[in-house]
Every structure is written in structure tokens, then in C-alpha cells.
């Protein structure tokens, strides 16, 4: 049976990795998550996912080490996790009434071989009032999520539609990971 190390402290990714039904551990290392403006959003998330996985791989071994990074993109705006409530409000104002992309990059390390991929899901958000934004931000939910909303939580009421993998928006494209684990 495959043993997995998930290089993420995200409680949502932890829940999703459990769906694989493989033994797993969680180990993380601090990495500087800097977005490189010279790279596409897809290249950025793959790069950051790889950084996270490689940082853990230096100290731990398992059959598989998985790193991931998610960002929300609206036209030329790249939205990571908000630094504070004011930034969360600004992100939600930008996303209000807009169709945007949620991109998750994944790095898989097996015996020092690294492969990366990314998954994109399109999300349509309803038009949000100032009161809705203020109330939602006051819950604290937006503060640890790319794009300042959680589709699996209170933020679900703001989502009109999605096109693609729901679990990708939560933070881990679990089907694509499962498929790649089976192939190897």
C-alpha cells in the first residue's frame, strides 16, 4: 500500500487526501511563497507546489510526497490568501459578479523524481453587497483561503456555478492525484 506524505497544513487538503484511503502523514516546512510575475499563474502554482514538496522531501521519505498550491485568477489579478480582513474585502469586491479561475498546482515526488501538473476550475460568483462581504469577512472564514472564500463553507452561498473539479476549488484535485498514483 502506498505511503503518502502531504506537504501541507491545510485542513481541507488533509480531509481530501483521506479520500485516497492510503496511509498518510502530514509534514510541512516553511517556504517563501512569492509569486513570480514573469511566470503564468499555472507555472507559479506548479513551482510553489514543487517548493513545498521538495522542502519536505529533504527531511522525510515516503513512497509519495505531495505538495500543492492554489490561487484564484481574475483576468490579470492573481489572488492568493488575504493578509488581513481589508485585503479579504478587496478580493471579494473584485470577484463579485465575476467568472474567475481557480488553479491548483500539484507536485508529486517519488524516489527523487518530481512531476507537476495543474488543474483549472471556473467559478461564477454572484454579485455581492457590501453587507454580505462585511458579514462574511467577520466570520473569519476568508482569511486562510485563496481568493478569500471557501466553496465548502459559508462562501458556498455566493457561488452561482462551477465548471470543472469542485475539489480543485477546495484545494486539491483529488481525482487527478488518484489517477497519477495509479499510473505509477
Q: State the Cα torsion 127-131-136-140 to the nearest 10°.
A: 140
3 state SS of 106: strand
Sole residue written with cell 514573469: 38
Beta partners for residue 102, in sequence order: 72, 121
For residue 2, give Cα distances in angstroms to 64, 65, 89, 146. Answer: 7, 11, 42, 30
Residues that are catalytic: 69
Quick check: 103 and 118 in contact, CB under 8 A?
yes
Q: How many CA atoms lie within 13 A of 129 on its CB side?
A: 3
Amino acid at each position: 500500500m502506498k505511503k503518502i506524505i502531504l506537504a501541507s497544513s491545510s485542513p481541507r487538503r488533509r480531509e481530501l487526501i483521506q479520500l485516497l484511503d492510503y496511509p498518510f502523514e502530514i509534514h510541512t516546512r516553511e517556504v517563501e511563497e512569492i509569486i513570480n510575475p514573469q511566470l503564468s499563474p499555472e507555472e507559479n502554482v506548479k513551482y510553489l507546489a514543487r517548493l513545498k514538496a521538495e522542502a519536505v522531501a529533504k527531511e522525510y521519505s515516503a513512497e509519495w510526497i505531495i505538495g500543492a498550491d492554489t490561487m484564484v485568477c481574475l483576468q490579470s489579478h492573481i489572488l492568493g490568501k488575504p493578509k488581513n480582513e481589508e485585503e479579504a474585502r478587496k478580493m471579494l469586491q473584485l470577484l463579485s459578479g465575476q467568472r474567475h479561475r481557480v488553479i491548483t498546482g500539484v507536485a508529486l515526488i517519488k524516489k527523487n523524481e518530481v512531476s507537476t501538473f495543474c488543474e483549472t476550475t471556473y467559478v461564477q460568483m454572484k454579485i455581492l453587497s457590501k453587507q454580505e462581504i462585511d458579514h462574511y469577512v467577520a466570520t473569519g472564514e476568508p482569511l486562510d483561503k485563496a481568493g478569500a472564500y471557501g466553496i465548502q463553507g459559508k462562501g458556498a452561498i455566493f457561488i452561482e456555478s462551477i465548471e470543472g473539479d469542485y475539489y480543485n476549488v477546495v484545494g486539491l484535485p483529488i481525482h487527478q492525484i488518484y489517477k497519477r498514483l495509479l499510473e505509477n
